[in-house]
Amino acid sequence: MSRPCRVNVNGRIVEVPSGTLLTDAAREAEVHVPIFCSHGKLPPLGACRICVVEVGMPKLGPDRQPVLGAGGQPEIAWMPKVQTACTTTVSDGMHVLTESPAAVKARKGVMEFLLVNHPLDCPVCDEGGECQLQDLAFAFGHDFSRMDEAKRTFDSEDLGPVVKKEANRCIVCMRCVRYCDEVMGDDALTAHQRGVWTEISSFNRQPLECEQCGNCIEVCPVGALTALPYRFKARPWDLRQHVTVCPYCSNGCSVRLGVRGAEVLRARGTEFRGINREYLCVRGRFGYEFINSPERLSTPLLKLGGTLEPAGFDEAVTFAASRLGEIAAVHGPASIAFLGGEKVTVEEAYLFQKLARAVLGTNHVDSRTRWPAAVPGRAVLKATGGGRPALTFEELVHAQEVLILGDDLQGEGPFAQAQVIRGQHQHGLHLTVAHPRRVKLAGVKFQGLWLDYRPGAELPLLQALTRAALDLPRPSGLPAEVLEGLPALEQALAPWTPSRVEQATGLSMASIADAARRLREAERKAVLFGRALTEHPEALALLHAVENLAWLCGALSAERSAVMYVGPQNDTQGALDMGLLPDCLPGYVAVEDAQGRRAFEQQWGGPLPSVPGKTAPEILEAAAAGEIKALWIVSDNWLRSAPDRRLAEQALGEAELVIVNELFLTETARAAHVVFPASSFAEKEGVMVNCERRLQKNVRALSPRKGSRPDWEIFQSVAQALGARWSYRTVEDVFREIARLAPNYRGMHWASLLPSGAQWASADRPVVPGSLGGADGAGATRDEVAARAGGGAATDGAPSPSAPAGLVLLSGGVLFLQGSLSQRGSLLPRLARAARASLHPEEAKRLRVAAGEPLEIEGSAGHIRLPVAIDPGVPEGSVFVPYAHADVDLNRLGAPGRAGLRVTARRATELERIGAG
């Protein structure tokens, strides 16, 4: 395929791989060929015809040799018609002319045709100034119009709350329709009618039933589709535009913020940059309102008496430092714990743990505040293959088999979902979705395998998959440690007979074996997991199982294959990398590892604690028990993120000192003694690491909100007040120190990270190679895991639908909301609508509730009330409640057990405000 072809474009010769499109070859030759319908993520269409060029090939004589003309140059046989460069692939020796009289006339002709019915309303068009039609008309068109007949006209319409349509401006390039279909998998847009009356719209002109991502607006080359929220707000030349990293999920899309004054007026994709290019999900595109929110904290707050009062920054720093110092002196460093940090930059995460370890001397540091189980810090790293190069989104599109374990990518990683959909549509990707609910990707149209396991049966499912994988031929390239562990694993999984698998998971062994076989047999494959496994009481066993399955199916040894952890926040990965873990220093250097520790001690100027600290759930317990006296919580609304609301409330009540860095006065901030107003992502620099483990640079798009500071400045001020000799002038100073110390970031250069840098990988250290059973010293022993793998299964009481004991509470992300930031504007909450409890129609019948009626859900620790929604995609024996809505505190219900969170549900007599525990 990649045989090089020499192509002559306007006399300039470029060498490109065969199969290259002429549009790309021309770009290579620095010749501008205009396009409209062509789009990098869509197959060639050849519809708009603006890219017409003249194409010729050397004339061949009877001997199949090129005929040479005068001057010894090969004679060119020009094709009789102009050709569309966007659909023509190069051949060796091809000649292309973009400026010949025929090419120019054809292009001008098409340009003129495009303007036949296009209104000349540029002065009132939101696209004006960044309209491709405007630009190309300027570059290639006539300076007068020969078309003075009446134009064909359509009425304008609003296609729902985000898309404004002016069909008269449409040039029928079909990008929006095709993008919606092939990339988003939504099929919400379609072309109506035909010919000159072709009009893009929805079913019967109703509001679009889709993800409301607005990518149709983004790919529209003209002003036919524009964003309602941005309508008539600004002209593009009035905006300062900055490409930075989206603050929402762990996919880490580049987002282009349009800023005027101190206000962000819009967010757009980047077209030619970033991992996502033009793509943004609804949160990324319309979730910027929180930056401008008047509710942002604008001054530090101190609780000296019973209430939080505004204070000066220095005053707050002095207070925080002196109280931390006192508590450390009185109760010892182990009475201090630091939590959170999944949403701050890498540099901030680094300084946060440095402050804990080097200045205060505590290893009680953990960013994994949602995790209900104590899990070694390197468990995720191991499950993803250690320092092995991580999966890229480009590889995900081209994977032949993708296995998604328990997560709904629509909520947890919309860009990953879009890549999978595009792969399915364009590259023959096959999808296996293990999820109890019929989530979007489990839909029929994606033609995948849906493993709708019984709610709570995550572990039996993974063990059954591993059991099935053991029967398949071993992939080559398995490390010795893995091979050594196999007999023990075989033994441990032996009890998983088909009937037991079926009993525990509700799935046939045949379908599970089919999934394992597909993963094993695919050449390029990907396994994705996220919160469904990590926020599970059996998280450690599940992570081991993922690792086992991945090794056995070759997902960790095959080329262009990997396991991806789709974490909950935009810098979840960076927080792990930077040692916001109780047992790891930055770069996963174990705190007990004296040699590894030494480098840090030398740089940081003092001895570091060598005993692993407590994990987040252990900190929760210890704080609630009064053993932890001081908590510093960064960018984490802990009262909502902690697995048990009651314990978290108790912990915050017990603690002598609670410091919170936040943008808003959250429930957690209200319970603090010191609140530092933090700057938003748009107001600071720093590196973020996405789920590809790619380092990307956040860019300062506007000045920090008055009164707020970037978190790193807050940490430095407190450290200095505690006597540390920190003197970072810029974020870059911090990054340079990280790149010197953290083994996995070694060699990374600050300057190369904009907007998207490299993925980190480390062939040598610090990662333990995969070991089946996970006996890495920090995790469970092989025996323990084996015991879990086999033994617990029979009693792993996966509930049966008819069990009278109640329902399993299923939760998950929703597309329109993520975390507190998304709820600070008006658009996203409006799109998300109120939270509801979804039930299978049969379950609703059993509970005698109808849609809209109030449902009381009772857990071991509390209850919530929500209106009912009926959804046949929710399995019987369960109730689905999204965890994103600010007014639904699922952690009030109690902590989940091994087979999930068991609740009872009944129809409530009246619908009260939700939330009272």
Partner 1 sequence: MTETHDGLVTVAAPEALEWPAACRGEIERVLSRYPNRRSAVLPVLWIAQRQWGWISAGALRLVARTVELPEPEVFGIATFYTMFNLAPVGRHHLQVCMTISCSLMGADRLFRHLEERLGIGHGQTTADGRFTLRRVECLAACGGAPCLQVGFAYHENLDEAKVDALLETLP
Partner 2 sequence: MSASRGPLLFQDIDTPGLRSLEVYRGQGGYQTIGTVVGAKTPDECIEIVKASGLRGRGGAGFPTGLKWSFVPKGSPKPKYLVCNADESEPGTFKDRELMEKNPHLLIEGMILSAYAIQAHVGYLYLRGEFEYLQRILGQAIGEAQVAGLLGDDIAGSGFRLELHTHLGAGAYICGEETALLSSLEGYRGQPRLKPPFPAVEGLYACPTIVNNVETLMNVPHILRHGAQWFRQWGTEKSPGTKILSVSGPVQRPGNHEVPMGLPLSALLEGPCGGMREGFRVKAVIPGGSSVPLLPASRLDTGLDFESMAAAGTLLGSGGVIVIDDQTCIVDALYNITRFYEHESCGKCTPCREGTYWMSEVFERLESGHGRERDIDLLFDVSDNILGKSFCALGDAAAMPVMGAIQHFREEFEYHVKHKRCLVNRRRAELEARFGETAAV
Where does this chain bind partner 2 (CB under 8 A)?
44-50, 52, 80-82, 87, 105-106, 109-110, 112-114, 116-117, 146-147, 149-150, 152, 171-172, 191, 193-198
For tokens 């190369």, what's the residue? 752
Beta strands at 630-634 and 657-662: parallel, antiparallel or unpaired: parallel
With CB under 8 A as the contact rule, the residue among 47, 57, 191, 234 that binds partner 1 is 191
* Under 8 Å between Cβ of 577 and 567: no
Strand segments, DSSP code E, in 277-391 are 301-303, 308-310, 336-340, 365-366
Nearer Cβ to partner 2 (64/146) = 146
- With CB under 8 A as the contact rule, the residue among 202, 410, 463, 771 that binds partner 1 is 202
Cβ at position 118, least distance to partner 2 in Å: 9
Task: Please tell me the distance from the alpha carbon of residue 300 to that of residue 24, in angstroms, as a whole number.
Answer: 54
Q: Does 260 bind partner 1 (CB under 8 A)?
A: no
Nearest approach, Cβ of residue 400 and partner 1 (Å)? 22
559, 560, 563, 568 alpha-carbon torsion, rounded to 10°: 160
CA distance 285 to 822: 11
Q: Is 184 in the site for partner 1 (CB under 8 A)?
A: no
Residue 298: how many other CB atoms lie within 10 Å: 12
- Minimal distance, residue 403 CB to partner 1, in Å: 25
Give the nearest distance from C-beta 175 to partner 1 in angstroms: 16
Nearest to 716 by CA among 705, 728, 703: 728
CA distance 694 to 698: 13
Residue 49 contact, options partner 2, partner 1, none, Cβ 5-8 Å cut-off depending on partner type: partner 2
Neighbours of 410 (CB within 10 A): 20
CA dist 671 and 657 (Å) reads 10
Which CB sits closer to partner 2, 48 or 719?
A: 48
204 binds partner 1 (CB under 8 A): yes
State the nearest-atom distance from the C-beta of 447 to partner 1, in Å: 11
The CB-based long-range contact list for 27-30 (8 Å cut-off, 24+ gap) reads none
Interatomic CA distance for residues 890 and 775, integer angstroms: 34
Q: Which is nearer to partner 1, 106 or 442 (CB)?
A: 442
Beta strands 263-268 and 686-689, pairing class: unpaired
CB of 249 to partner 1, least distance (A): 26
Please tell me the distance from the alpha carbon of residue 257 to that of residue 444, in angstroms, as a whole number: 36
Considering the complex, state which of residue 63 and residue 148 has its C-beta at the smaller distance from partner 2: 148
Of 901, 713, 662, nearest in space to 805 by CA: 901
Q: Quick check: 192 binds partner 1 (CB under 8 A)?
A: yes
| Residue 424: CB minimum distance to partner 1, A | 15
State in angstroms the smallest separation of the CB of 192 from partner 1. 5
The alpha helices in 204-345, defined as continuous H runs, are 215-219, 282-286, 313-331
Q: Report the partner that residue 105 touches, choosing among partner 2, partner 1, none (CB closer than 5 to 8 A by kind).
A: partner 2
Q: Which is nearer to partner 2, 87 or 503 (CB)?
A: 87
Q: Does position 752 bind partner 1 by CB under 8 A?
A: no
CA quadruple 328, 330, 334, 339: dihedral positive or negative?
negative
Amino acid at residue number 903: V
- Which of partner 2, partner 1, none binds 484 (CB below 5-8 Å, type-dependent)? none
Pick the binder of partner 1 from 190, 241, 299, 904 (CB under 8 A). Answer: 190
Which partner in partner 1, partner 2, none is near 196 (CB below 5 to 8 A by kind)? partner 2
**Nearest to partner 1 of 187, 326 (CB atom):** 187
Long-range pairs for 140-146: beta carbons < 8 A, 24 or more residues apart = 140/34, 140/50, 140/107, 140/108, 140/111, 141/108, 141/111, 141/112, 141/115, 142/108, 142/111, 142/112, 145/112, 145/115, 146/112
Shortest gap between Cβ of 60 and partner 1 (angstroms)? 41
Return the number of the residue (329 or 444) whose C-beta is nearest partner 1: 444
Strands of the 449-451 sheet, one edge to the other: 449-451, 430-434, 401-405, 525-530, 562-566
**Residue of 130, 157, 158, 187 that binds partner 1 (CB under 8 A):** 187
Tell me which residue has tokens 């032996």.
494
Per CB under 8 A, contacts with partner 1 among 439-478 are 444-445
> Of 51 and 420, which CB lies nearer to partner 2 in the complex structure?
51
- In the chain, % helix, strand, coil (3-state, to 5) comes to 35, 20, 45
Identify which of residues 149 and 910 has a Cβ nearer to partner 2 in the complex: 149
Residue of the chain from 18, 153, 193, 497 that contacts partner 1 (CB under 8 A): 193
147 binds, among partner 2, partner 1, none (CB under 5 to 8 A by kind): partner 2
- Give least dist CB 45 to partner 2, A: 8
Task: Look at residue 187 and give the partner it binds from partner 1, partner 2, none, a contact being a CB closer than 5 to 8 Å depending on partner kind.
Answer: partner 1
| Residue 152 in the binding site for partner 1 (CB under 8 A) | no
Query: In angstroms, what is the minimal distance from the CB of 84 to partner 2?
Result: 8
| Cα gap 532→407, rounded to integer Å | 6
**Residue 473 in tokens:** 């031929």
Nearest to partner 2 of 112, 627 (CB atom): 112
Tell me if 212 contacts partner 1 by CB under 8 A: no
Between 53 and 311, name the residue whose CB sits nearer to partner 2: 53
Q: In angstroms, what is the minimal distance from the CB of 554 to partner 2?
A: 26
From the list partner 1, partner 2, none, partner contacted by residue 110 (C-beta under 5 to 8 A by kind): partner 2
CB of 157 to partner 1, least distance (A): 14
Could you tell me which stretch among 192-200, 251-259, 834-842, 852-860 binds partner 1 (CB under 8 A)?
Answer: 192-200
Among 12, 32, 108, 203, indicate the residue that binds partner 1 (CB under 8 A). 203
Q: Answer whether 202's CB lies under 8 Å from 179's CB.
A: no
Q: Report the SS3 class of residue 846.
A: helix
From the CB of 39, what's the least distance to partner 2, in Å? Answer: 15
Residue 46 or 93: the one with the smaller Cβ distance to partner 2 is 46
The length of the chain is: 917
Positions in the binding site for partner 1 (CB under 8 A): 187-194, 202-204, 444-445
